[in-house]
Structure 1
Amino acid sequence: MKDASLEARVAHVRRLLRNTPLVDGHNDLPWAMREAAKDPLDVVAYDLRRKTAGMTDIARLRKGMVGGQFWSVYIPGEVRDSGYARIQLEQIDIAKRTIARYPDVFVPAFTAADVRKAYAQGKIGSLLGMEGGHAIENSLGALRSYYELGARYMTLTHNVTLDWADAANDVPRNKGLTAFGKEVVREMNRLGMLVDLAHTSPAVMSQALSVTEAPVIWSHAAARGVTDVPRNVPDSILARLPKNGGVVMMTFVPGFVSQTVANYGAQVTAVRDSIAKRYPQDNDAQFKAVAAWRETHPTPIATINDVADHLDHIKQIAGAAHVGIGGDFDGITETVQGLEDVSTYPTLFAELLKRGWTDTELKGLAGENVLRALKGAESVSALLRKARPASTKTIQQLDGRR
């Protein structure tokens, strides 16, 4: 359909998505709800049956033809003093009560089969994904408890380097994964919890691929060969995915998908640092100086074409069987032009049709690839649970940490 009109291509995509589920790997709605509410645990005030102030509601999910969703139960890595476990449990509670509040739309999902069953019923299979291994507080027992509460992936790090794993956007301290970090990966394999390598350093990515016995995912990431920022996946890692069976779920963060936007962000940071030195302890002067600079340096725009370029690149290096979608909606403050909310997925697929992607490749991108990876993790778990008991190893035993 390279030469078909946009309207014809979107219509084709909609027919395609009526026969295969579109499964998004990362939506931060639970945290957006927490921040929007006067009571952090109030899921009633944030009514998904109406158009929300954010990027997600039921009408837009339906328009975007979402058939399955990993809801991120993210907690910041910087909230250690507030108690990781309490906030993590609250976020799981928010997500679960939100899913239960709309039983005609959402169905709790724990397996790939659950997602397919929900999709067959015209509902959105809803899985939970933990964003950041800081939540387990160096405890494999806590990891198992979160799995029992429904978490089906865990991003090994968020933006903060842990005692056992290095983050992409923080100072590396562990040369990748420590011995305990590798044990976390092995225990996730035994449980059937997908290892999510978004936010991790390349060393963590490489070592996790060497340790894991199950497919891995990047729940929201892009290609470093297109946009050279630390959060993206290097080509050397992409080339290893066919052997592993893993999936990079393409994100829509402007600074990750456009080198021009990324360069602008780095320039803004440099300007702010320079201005802060010129006007130390004068916040008003700093604000006015940055605003004046921005007036003469408008923010560049990332487009659907930028996102499609990443998908083409990942397809070229790793193969069409190793791409997915992980928009990061409601976890971002700026959006790609044409991909402003959860209603817009079909437009991206229409662009890929224009570029020659086949229906089989688009079905894989939509959800078949990540469901295959999840099913693979479930199959590995079934074997490992018979072969070995739950690990009781500690970070003190393996890494000598106090």
Structure 2
Amino acid sequence: MPVDTVPVDQQSLHVRSVVAETHNDLLMAVSARPPAMWASFFRERWLPQLVEGGVDVQVLPVFVESQFRPEGALRQTLRMIECAHVLAEGSPDAVALCHDGQQIDEALALGRIALVLALESMPGIDESVELIPTLHRLGVRVASIAHWGRTALADGSGQDGTGSRLTSHGVEALREMERLGMLFDISHLGATGVAHVLEIATRPVIATHSSARALRDHHRNLTDEQLRGVAAGGGVVCVNFLAAFLTEDARSATIDHLVDHIEHIAGVAGIDHVGLGPDFMREVNEDLTPPCCEGFSYSGIDSNAAVPGLEGPRGLPLVTDALVKRGFSEEEIQKILGANVMRLFRAELGRPAHDRPAHGLAQDGPVEGRERPEPERPRP
């Protein structure tokens, strides 16, 4: 990547950039508390981290753990969505739950963090695709249809050996999401399912937390062919920070491994199609199982192994610093940090199929760096 002729002030660049973080399971941690604590726990525990990390746009996935499936999946889905609304209402000076690009822009103009609701694998839906509009009415704007295993809609990446495409209900779910203006998330989807989606999708898709399989051969990462497919449709691939997906020896992962994945995806898909999807599991695990259990394993990966300094969102300025040192230009770094995701959100989020720019691309271009008002947000 070309190096700017003028030295880059990393701290200033991070502050001036829109930082969009497309996967943080903090709702799992917050909703595990009694409802009366939801707003205060978020404000005291998570909001200061987001502020310190310079996060401007935070996607909040609703992930339903196995103990709630199948009978309690829909109830837990609704409970976590309610949690998102409660925590937003509890910090109206600092965050805003947003349904489209315009609302995100309005939140940023007021110095607030824009929150976007997402579903991870839709276990509460099963075959009842007719419930997707209900969840859309509740504010959900991004969704995937599988996790590690099999669902009524598709197989997750842990089932790649089946070679399965989307089920008929999965195709129906994709069409319904496209109609409503919900972004389809291919992270966790099986390889054949990804190919199926890229074959039939009529709107851009997003990978909210996936890294490069060429650098770390794990089924959760995307191949170069998949990266090119997402880019060809106008979508964005947001790099997962989880150490186990960056290098085989997770305990030796460094920020250079992360930047390697960013650089590879930018080189294959193009600089306009890469973003950040950290998946800060270590911080979430600490909140769910205090004190955090050393060696905790999830689906065969060590989810407690984190890149030093990137255990949680407050470390995000380190990514900007590392990108500067690697030689990315200011414009490229701003695209990676959030401008690419914002372009996609502006063009697609909450916009019905009849009300969108041609080819799903924004008309006003990427987000430019800008001076923003310094909001009065709670500090630790």
Q: Smaller-chain TM-score range?
A: 0.7 to 0.9
1:156 to 130, 145, 150: 145
- Separation of aligned partners in 1, 2:213 and 2:310: 20
1:196-242 deviations in Å (ceiling 9; x for gaps): 01111111111111111111111111110110001001111112233
Q: 1:172: how far off?
A: 5.4
- Separation of aligned partners in 2, 1:211 and 1:347: 38
- Separation of aligned partners in 2, 1:137 and 1:107: 29
Q: Tell whether the 8 Å contact from 1:247 to 1:323 is kept in structure 2 after alignment.
A: yes
Instruction: Describe the shift of the 1:250–1:148 C-alpha distance in structure 2 as closer, same or farther (beyond 3 A).
Output: same
1:289-313 deviations in Å (ceiling 9; x for gaps): xxxxxxxxxxx32111110000010
- Separation of aligned partners in 2, 1:306 and 1:137: 37
Q: 1:123: how far off?
A: 0.7
1:265-301 deviations in Å (ceiling 9; x for gaps): xxxxxxxxxxxxxxxxxxxxxxxxxxxxxxxxxxx32
- Separation of aligned partners in 1, 2:47 and 2:65: 26
1:375-396 deviations in Å (ceiling 9; x for gaps): 33248724179xxxxxxxxxxx
1:350 and 2:347 are equivalent in the alignment: no
SS at match of 1:239: helix
1:131 and 2:131 are equivalent in the alignment: no
Q: Tell whether the 8 Å contact from 1:161 to 1:173 is kept in structure 2 after alignment.
A: no
1:320 and 2:271 are equivalent in the alignment: yes
Instruction: Describe the shift of the 1:144–1:173 C-alpha distance in structure 2 as closer, same or farther (beyond 3 A).
Output: farther
1:47 to 15, 34, 41: 41
TM-score computed with the length of structure 2 as normaliser: 0.82
1:249 and 2:238 are equivalent in the alignment: yes
The residue that corresponds to 2:169 in the other structure is 180
Q: Tell whether the 8 Å contact from 1:165 to 1:174 is kept in structure 2 after alignment.
A: no
The one-letter amino acid paired with 2:314 is S
SS at match of 1:231: coil
1:23 to 7, 17, 20: 20
Q: Tell whether the 8 Å contact from 2:164 to 2:190 is kept in structure 1 after alignment.
A: no
- Separation of aligned partners in 2, 1:318 and 1:366: 16
Unpaired segments ≥5 residues, structure 1: 262-299, 386-402
1:364 and 2:358 are equivalent in the alignment: no
Q: 1:341: how far off?
A: 1.2
Unpaired segments ≥5 residues, structure 2: 285-302, 357-380
TM-score computed with the length of structure 1 as normaliser: 0.78
SS at match of 2:253: coil
The residue that corresponds to 1:274 in the other structure is none
2:102 to 79, 99, 113: 113
The one-letter amino acid paired with 1:228 is D
Instruction: Describe the shift of the 1:78–1:384 C-alpha distance in structure 2 as closer, same or farther (beyond 3 A).
Output: farther
The percentage of aligned residue pairs carrying the same residue is 30
- Separation of aligned partners in 2, 1:319 and 1:340: 28
1:101 and 2:90 are equivalent in the alignment: yes
The one-letter amino acid paired with 1:87 is Q
1:129-166 deviations in Å (ceiling 9; x for gaps): 11112221211221111111011101121122112301
- How many residues matched? 334
1:68 and 2:93 are equivalent in the alignment: no
1:60-82 deviations in Å (ceiling 9; x for gaps): 21111111111112112553244
SS at match of 2:131: helix
1:198 and 2:192 are equivalent in the alignment: no
Q: CA RMSD in A?
A: 2.3
Q: Tell whether the 8 Å contact from 2:100 to 2:350 is kept in structure 1 after alignment.
A: no
The residue that corresponds to 1:227 in the other structure is 216
- Separation of aligned partners in 2, 1:345 and 1:238: 24
Q: Tell whether the 8 Å contact from 1:195 to 1:217 is kept in structure 2 after alignment.
A: yes
Instruction: Describe the shift of the 1:151–1:174 C-alpha distance in structure 2 as closer, same or farther (beyond 3 A).
Output: farther
The residue that corresponds to 1:285 in the other structure is none
**Structure number, greater radius of gyration:** 1
Instruction: Describe the shift of the 1:365–1:146 C-alpha distance in structure 2 as closer, same or farther (beyond 3 A).
Output: same
- Separation of aligned partners in 1, 2:140 and 2:351: 17
- Separation of aligned partners in 2, 1:313 and 1:222: 9
Q: 1:18: how far off?
A: 3.5
Q: Tell whether the 8 Å contact from 2:160 to 2:192 is kept in structure 1 after alignment.
A: no
